[in-house]
Structure 1
Amino acid sequence: MSRPVIGIIGNSHLINDSYLVQAAGDMNMQAVKDVCDAIPVIIPADPAVVDVDDLLCACDGFVFPGGRPNVHPEEYGEAATEAHGAFDRNRDSVALPLIRACVAAGLPILGICRGFQEMNVAFGGSLYPEIRDLPGRDNHRMPPDGTIEEKFAMRHRITFTEGGVFHRLMGSREVMTNSLHGQGIKVAGERIVIDGTAPDSTPEAIYVKDAPGFALGVQWHPEYKAGMDKVSRPLFAAFGRAAADWAQGKRTPARKIA
């Protein structure tokens, strides 16, 4: 049996400040290959070169990874400010409708960091431009200095809903994760269920209510050492099984993955 194909939504990147490319992090590609046992394919985040219907036919699942630019606040009815940072309207134009189409079809999706936020916005939710500026909230941003190991180090615990999707998937109500994000969920989208939070109440784990297929998102970065981490591995493994099931014509509802 051939392995499932998992599309990883790309990010626009300039090489030497002059040559524009679409790129995906090696960590995400390695996690898809090794833990999902799937073939990773970079999907250009540019509506001029990809079509949602074509993508649904080409892939058995999608990872919506992190990215430096944020979802443009116009996508959730707010005005852009300096605090919102940089934007990538092309990725917005590909990712948001693709998320909705995948959920409607039952095609598996996994949202990571920006992808987590995209899932919320895709279903009508909104975002805070800067979590650390809110009263009582912690600084969730990546440490500005240090090695990769220090930047992706475990920063805080996540508490999952008793008996919820993530509790069943992880086999524990509390796990430790890294933290490399500035924005976060303000108002949850209509079908977005917050299934895990950080100690300061910041939403960190979500799923799409009544989704016919795997539709989970996390605010942290599980791709880091995914094959060895006890939190990352079961998440990617479940996603990989869902993609394999899709490739064989089956469905894996988000609420029944564990």
Structure 2
Amino acid sequence: MTRPVVGIIGNRALINDRYPVHEGGQMNSCAVSHVAGCVPLLIPADPSYVSVEELLEICDGFLLTGGRPNVHPEEYGEEPTDKHGAFDRARDAITLPLVRACVERGQPFMGICRGFQEVNVAMGGTLHPEIRELPGRMNHRMPPEGTLEEAFALRHKVRLDPEGRFAALFGAEEVLTNTLHGQGICQPGARIVIEGRAEDGTPEAIYVKDAPGFTLSVQWHPEWNAEADPVSRPLFRAFGDAVRDWAAQKGSAKAL
């Protein structure tokens, strides 16, 4: 039986500082294939190559990955500053309408880090350019040195709504996660429900209220060690189940 397809939103990069590529972390593909049980398909997130309409037909679900460039502040009505960092307007042009289309259709997606922030912006929310500069906030950025294992180490707790979807999925009201981001949610968008926060109050787990499909998104990186981590594993499995349900419904509709 053919597995359903998850489109993994890629990022632009340069090899040897001069050769342009679209790239995606292997850990994303591993989590989608080995834990969610779906076919990982890397998407060049650029409207000059693909359209939202094409992606909606080709893929059964989407993983909105992390990435160094940030959502451009003009997408939420603000002027860019040095604190906002680098941008990828081509990715913005694909992911923001893609999120809105998936919410409307009930097509499943999961946002991670930048993808989490894209979901908020797509629904009309805003972002803080630099979390660590806010009073009482910790530094959520990746440690500047050390091994990959040290960079993705579990660093803070996330407190969950005890009656919410994430707590039910994880079987806990508090989980331990990694943290590798500079920006974060300022004002939540319309229908964005914040169900998890770090110890300093930073939003960490959201979903879109009344969306007919899977929209769970997190600020941390669950793709790291997804097969073994007790928080990552149920999240990706639930996402995979939602993608399979969508693919089955799509197949039934085509058969009519």
Distance 1:142 1:219 in 2: 13
Of all paired residues, the percent bearing the same amino acid is 64
- Is 1:178 aligned to 2:165, yes or no? no
Tell me the distance in 1 between the aligned counterparts of 2:66 and 2:215.
Answer: 16
The structural deviation recorded for 1:59 is 0.5
How far the C-alpha of 1:174 sits from its partner, in A, is: 0.3
Shift of 1:68: 0.1
**In structure 2, what is the equivalent of residue 194 of structure 1?**
194
1:142, distance to aligned residue in structure 2 (A): 0.5
SS in 1 for 2:249: coil
Offset, 1:191: 1.0
Residue 155 of structure 1 pairs with residue 155 of structure 2: yes
**CA apart distance, 1:40:** 0.2
Find the counterpart in structure 2 of residue 41 from structure 1.
41
Q: Is residue 223 of structure 1 aligned with residue 223 of structure 2?
A: yes
Structure 2 counterpart of 1:79: 79
Query: Alpha-carbon deviation of 1:2?
Result: 1.2
SS at match of 1:205: strand
Report the equivalent of 2:29: 29
- Please list the CA deviations of residues 7-50 of structure 1 after superposition, one character each: whole Å capped at 9, or x if unmatched: 00010011111111111110000000000111000011100010
Output aligned runs, 1:1-258, within 5 Å: 1-249=1-249
RMSD over aligned CA atoms reads 0.7
**SS at 1:21's partner residue?**
strand
Unaligned runs of 5+ in 2: 251-256
Aligned counterparts of 1:12 and 1:102: Cα–Cα separation in 2: 23
Moved more, 109-118 or 160-169: 160-169
Q: Hey, what does 2:253 align to over in structure 1? A: none
Deviation at 1:181, TM superposition (A): 0.3
Deviation at 1:162, TM superposition (A): 1.5
Q: Distance in 1 between matches of 2:18 and 2:185?
A: 34
The TM-score with structure 2 as length reference comes to 0.97
Q: Measure, in 1, the Cα distance between the counterparts of 2:135 and 2:18.
A: 41
For residues 45 and 6 of structure 1, the distance between their equivalents in structure 2, rounded to whole angstroms, comes to: 14
TM norm structure 1:
0.96
1 CA distance for matches of 2:210 and 2:75? Answer: 23
Match of 1:255 in 2: none
List structure 1 runs of 4+ shifted beyond 2 angstroms: none
Alignment gaps of 5+ in structure 1: 251-258
C-alpha displacement at 1:113, in angstroms?
0.0
What is the CA-CA distance between 1:216 and the residue it aligns to? 1.1
